[in-house]
A = this chain, B = another copy of it.
Amino acid sequence: MLGRVRAGSLSPEDAARLLGELPYAEIAHAVGSSVIDHHREIRTGVPEIVYGASKTADQIAAVLGELARVAGCAIATRVDPLKAAAVKTLLPAATVHELARVVALGVQATRPPARDIAIVCAGTSDLAVAEEAALVCEFLGARVVRVHDVGVAGLHRLLARLVDIQTTAVVIAVAGMEAALPSVLGGLVGQPLIAVPTSVGYGVSVDGLVALAGMLSSCAPGITVVNIDNGVGAAIAAVKIARLAAESP
């Protein structure tokens, strides 16, 4: 919020008023209510990102609207095409990113400085999750280097992009099936490496559990892992590191 004041996108008066109504707001739904945690960004550096999967379009639109009213912008993930269309009807100013299933609202806020993040994905099928992660990184103010379709069955494709990856401060590796990509990357690069398993596969690897377990078992030490298809979680973790790397120690 202070950043938005400094950047001129929020008057000090409005900032004071907004701070006054914090720390949280309750929105009534048809049945029950949601409690919006406006202080989360102050406590943890990252605003609430709306998890759309188990909310109705009405609930998503209401929460996005309330968050953007205070913070200037907001973002929802896991919004399937039908819901996204309904949210778009309720909030015509929203932007829908179809492949990534993301809906964004408002003008990008000023964020703390952050170094670049590489998002590397193993196959075409992993693009949706990789793009969810990329949009959240950008929403949180970090620049993203996208490296696509470099699975280990064709190792030269990965080696050809290694220099691009090494210029960043953090790497997010997205892979499904047996998810060997992070193990290979982890032996080649020195940055913090966050692995995202995807639910790409069939038979034993359906639903991403094998990819997840493979990443957790990696023989390349120091890889950390998030839940299956959890592009948001990887992005937030990566941005926190990329911001630390941008601070003077």
Q: Which residues in A have some Cβ–Cβ distance to B below 8 Å?
A: 23-24, 26, 29-35, 37, 39-40, 43-46, 49, 51, 53-55, 59, 63, 78, 99-100, 113, 115, 121-125, 127, 130-131, 146, 148-157, 169, 176-180, 183-184, 186-194, 197, 199-230, 232-234, 236-237, 240-241, 244-249
Contacts and interface: CB of A to CB of B under 8 A. Distances in A.
A225 B228 contact: no
A241 B246 CA distance: 12
8 contacts: A152-B180, A153-B187, A194-B224, A203-B212, A204-B217, A211-B217, A216-B226, A245-B245
A32 B217 CA distance: 24
Give the oligomeric copy count: 8
Nearest to A150: B35
A208 B204 CA distance: 9
A148 to B, nearest CB: 5
Contacts of A192: 237, 240-241, 244
